[in-house]
């Protein structure tokens, strides 16, 4: 479980196809703090640390993960948001993020507003029921508040800190992003559907 408060940038160092897809990750933190089997959110996708070395670690993605997230596009040099799993007693500054991506969305517009940036994303139709004004959503693992909703499109405002400390500042119109709906929205929708 995560909070959607990205703590480090990571970089994909290599990609190897060996049954499943193995990614070598160079994190922005010391690998000595990790244990094999640890969960780390990579651009919002919870992946298990399979192997650790001084210069990075390896995670493995199945065909299912590649098909349902942006990981299929990862190549050496790809920059990613990283967040280590939540520990009991840690501050809950964002919202509960599970690393279970619901869909891939697309950035449809971007504009500077004062010192902030307004981003509008298009989500697949199946996500529309989870989008609510002032609700939470994780975009590439970043916990964000939805400012407004228009069908399957939703807008967010990114402050300068988030713009520079996550990969959101490097997005361009048309780029795909991993989307995870707020877990509370999922359960409320399921309860109301009964």
Q: What is the DSSP string of 38-73?
A: -EEEETTEEEEEEEEETTEEEEEE-HHHHHHSGGGG
Give the pLDDT confidence score for residue 151 in this predicted structure.
95
Non-local (6+) Cβ contacts of 162 within 8 A are 142, 168, 169
> Which residue in this structure is represented by tokens 């988030």?
162
Model pLDDT, residue 28: 87
| pLDDT tens digits, 117-132 | 999 999 999 999 899 9
Is residue 183's pLDDT more than 90? no
User: How confident is the model at residue 93, as a pLDDT?
Assistant: 74
Neighbours of 91 (CB within 10 A): 8
Whether the predicted pLDDT of 190 surpasses 80 = no
Q: Smallest Cα–Cα separation from 161: which of 118, 121, 116?
A: 116
Query: Mean pLDDT, to the nearest integer, of 87-107?
Result: 84
Domains and CATH numbers, the chain: 8-84 (2.40.30.20), 103-193 (2.40.30.20)
> Mean pLDDT across the chain, nearest whole number?
92
Residue 43's pLDDT is 97
Number of continuous H segments (helices) and E segments (strands) in the chain: 3, 13
CA distances from 152 to 89, 104, 129 (A): 36, 12, 9
Percent of the chain whose pLDDT exceeds 90: 76
What is the per-residue pLDDT for 180? 96
pLDDT tens-digit readout, 150-181: 999 999 999 999 999 999 999 999 999 999 99
């Amino acid at each position: 479980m995560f909070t959607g408060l990205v703590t480090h940038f990571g970089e994909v160092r290599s990609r190897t196809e060996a049954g499943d897809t193995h990614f070598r990750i160079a994190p922005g933190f010391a690998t000595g703090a990790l244990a094999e089997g640890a969960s780390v959110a990579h651009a919002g996708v919870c992946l298990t640390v399979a192997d650790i070395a001084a210069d990075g670690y390896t995670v493995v993605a199945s065909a299912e993960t590649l098909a349902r997230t942006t990981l299929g596009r990862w190549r050496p040099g790809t920059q990613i948001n990283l967040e280590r799993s939540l520990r009991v007693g840690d501050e809950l500054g964002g919202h509960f993020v599970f690393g279970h991506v619901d869909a891939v969305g697309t950035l449809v517009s971007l504009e500077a507003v004062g010192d902030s940036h307004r981003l509008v994303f298009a989500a697949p139709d199946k996500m529309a029921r989870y989008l609510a004004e002032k609700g939470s959503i994780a975009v590439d693992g970043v916990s964000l508040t939805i400012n407004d909703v228009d069908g399957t499109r939703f807008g967010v405002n990114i402050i300068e800190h988030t713009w520079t400390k996550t990969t959101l500042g490097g997005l361009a119109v048309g780029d795909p992003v991993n989307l995870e709906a707020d877990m509370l929205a999922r359960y409320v929708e399921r309860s109301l559907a009964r």
